[in-house]
Amino acid sequence: MNPKYLIGKLVGLAAGAAIGGYIGALIGLVIGAILDKMHQDGIQLWKRQAKEPKKIEDTDPNDFVVGSILLAAVVVQSDGQVDDLELSYVRSFLADQFGNDQMHNYWAILQETLKEELDIKKTTLQIKQTTSYETRLQLIHFLFGIANADYTIDDQEIATIKIISLHLGVANEEYESIKSMFYSEMDAYYKILELKPSVSDSTVKYAYKEMLKKYHPDKLIHLGEGVRNAANVKFLKVQEAYENIKNERGFQ
């Protein structure tokens, strides 16, 4: 076998061993195998036979990690250059979610992934097979955070995230809701609640309650406290949007 095809397994094995001994090494080998397949014949990711619709608790934390790394690489590369601020955002995200020790291991995997030209459709379709819908919404929020790391989201980044969102099966209303969380405008506040400015006060109140249920961070608690904390940012944006609309309209 060509030595370059062993890079993934070597990186994965070393990272996995550091993460959690023997079990971690096995996890690392799985991630490493993904990288090796990327070297050999494109983005043929892990495969999983799903006979029933996935439930919230079915998303494995390792699937979330791999999905985050692969999609981060896609967005970082989307405008034709690797921005240091965007990489810094990803690095902070990995540290916040998984701790500094694991962050260094996942960072090494991201660096290898950035050397690849990923196929967005194949990548996202495989991620869709291994993650719950709530997890995919959180991934879209994460990607907009990367795009906004340099304090501006350009058209190419928006287009890339939109394509990812479509392939992940995210509804357009929810895509627009999450996108609007990165803009401080009254129109954006309505979009966060998936509303038009012409709706009644009672509709605003009802939509707010529904959005609190949809984006409640406890829905991602199975992915770890770090991911739950990241989801709480999205949850707080819903509350912020409602408070701004309420103040602007003057209802209680």
Given this model, what pLDDT does residue 25 score?
Answer: 47
Report DSSP state, residue 52: S
Cα–Cα distances (Å) from 125 to 44, 97, 110, 115, in that order, read: 11, 24, 19, 21
The string over 20-55, giving b where at least 16 C-beta atoms fall within 10 Å of a residue's C-beta and e elsewhere, is eeeebbebbbebbebbbbbbeeebebbeeeeeeebe
Q: Which domains does the chain have, with CATH numbers?
A: 60-170 (1.10.3680), 183-252 (1.10.287.110)
- Gap between the Cα atoms of 143 and 75, Å rounded: 7
From 227, 225, 212, 184, select the one nearest 64 (Cα to Cα).
Answer: 227
Report DSSP state, residue 48: -
Given this model, what pLDDT does residue 55 score?
Answer: 52
Given this model, what pLDDT does residue 198 score?
Answer: 93
61-82 residue pLDDT tens? 877 888 888 899 999 988 788 8
- Gap between the Cα atoms of 89 and 86, Å rounded: 5
Cα–Cα distances (Å) from 93 to 42, 61, 103, in that order, read: 26, 15, 9
State whether the Cα torsion 45-177-99-72 is positive or negative. positive
Q: Show the beta-strand stretches assigned E in 36-143.
A: none
Residue entry with tokens 């990367």: 146
**pLDDT, tens digit only, all 252 positions of the chain:** 444 444 454 445 445 444 444 334 444 544 555 555 444 444 444 444 444 444 545 577 877 888 888 899 999 988 788 889 999 999 998 888 878 888 888 888 888 888 888 888 888 888 888 889 999 999 999 999 999 998 889 999 999 999 999 999 999 999 999 999 999 888 999 999 999 999 999 999 999 999 999 999 999 998 888 889 899 999 999 999 999 999 999 988
Given this model, what pLDDT does residue 49 score?
Answer: 41
**Which tokens is 162 given?**
């939109």
